[in-house]
Structure formats: structure tokens, C-alpha cells
Amino acid sequence: MALRKWSFHYPISGKANLDALLSTHYATLDYLIEKEEGDFLAATKTGWELGRKAGARFFVRFSDDLKKHGRDLNGLAKILNVAYQSLSSKKFDEITVEEGVIVFDDYKCPLCEDYVMPDELKGKGGRVCIMVDGIFTEICNMAGLKAESWETKCRAAGDECCRHELKITK
């Protein structure tokens, strides 16, 4: 699949540049929290939208492959797992495919493991890895599916894993 050819890699070593991604990710999250005057939930929603727009830009060259391989939920789950690995340098620990829903669990999420969420924000519904869900939503759109993905659990907020739930809406 052509999607496997793309990822955040150093051009010479072939290793994922996770440090560069995390620096950008955390800086963006900090900026959004500041912009939203400490409203972590509003920052989360804006982060999701940024992820959706980033997904459109990053994966547009694979739209034909996405349409071809992403028509059924099992194929879509595989594509999204590869996309996540390209972003985070690891695959999800568990993937559950059910009627109209794919649940992705990561018990050692590298996107939020070093992020220290202030205690006063932990119970407010904010999520650190929310951009992944915006990207997943946009990948589904490119595959011709109407879907929404949302992070329902986050390790940075004190949950045992980061959980992303993608629901097909059409």
C-alpha cells in the first residue's frame, strides 16, 4: 500500500523524527490553551480541527489508495494504524472493530507520555492527542466515508490508555 511509503522520517537514517513532531505538538497545544484563555476543552476542539486540516494536506496524495483499501472497517483500521505509526513511531496496542465503530487503544502513547497536564485540567475533558482524531476523520472523508473520531481517554489526563473511537456516521 502506498501509505506505507510515507512517514515522518529523517531522510538519511530512516528513523522517525518523533522529537520534532512532539515539539510542534506540545507547542501547538500550549498555544491553543493560551489562546483559549485556559479553556482546555475549547483548545481540544480547535486541536481536533487542526488535525483534520493537517490530515487533508498530508494524505491527499494517497486518496486513491484510501478509497480502494478503506471501504470496509477492517481495511480502514489497518490504514489508520499505519497512519498512526507514521506519526507516533508505534502501532496501537489494541484495535477493536465493531458494527460502525473502530476503537484504538494505546497504553504507551508517545504523543502524550511526557506531557504534564495540570491537575486542575484533568477532569475537564481536554485531550492531548486529539489531533490524531482530526487526522483520522479526514482520512475517512478521503476514503469516501462520513465518520468522526474522538479521543475518549487520555493518559495525560490520568486514564490507563489513550483511546480513540471512530464512528461511521453514514
Q: Checking phi first, is residue 37 left (phi over 0); if not, alpha (psi -120 to 50) or beta?
A: left
Question: Under DSSP, is residue 57 helix (H, G, I), strand (E, B) or coil?
Answer: helix
What is the percentage of the chain residues whose pLDDT exceeds 90? 25
The residues, any chain, with a CB within 8 Å of residue 140's CB and separated by 6 or more, are 70, 76, 146, 147, 149, 166, 168
Tens digits of residue pLDDT in 48-101 = 888 888 888 877 777 777 777 777 888 889 989 988 888 888 999 999 999 899
Nearest to 164 by CA among 147, 151, 145: 151
pLDDT at position 17? 64
CA 141 to chain centre: 15
Q: Decide if 70 contacts 78 (C-beta within 8 A).
A: no
The residues, any chain, with a CB within 8 Å of residue 25's CB and separated by 6 or more, are 111, 131
Q: What is the mean pLDDT of residues 154-160?
A: 89
The reported pTM is: 0.79
Nearest to 83 by CA among 160, 142, 32: 142
Cell 475537564 belongs to residue: 124
Domain spans of the chain, in order of start? 16-168
Among the CATH numbers 3.40.50.2300, 3.30.1120.10, 3.40.50.150, 3.30.1380.20, which is that of 16-168? 3.30.1380.20
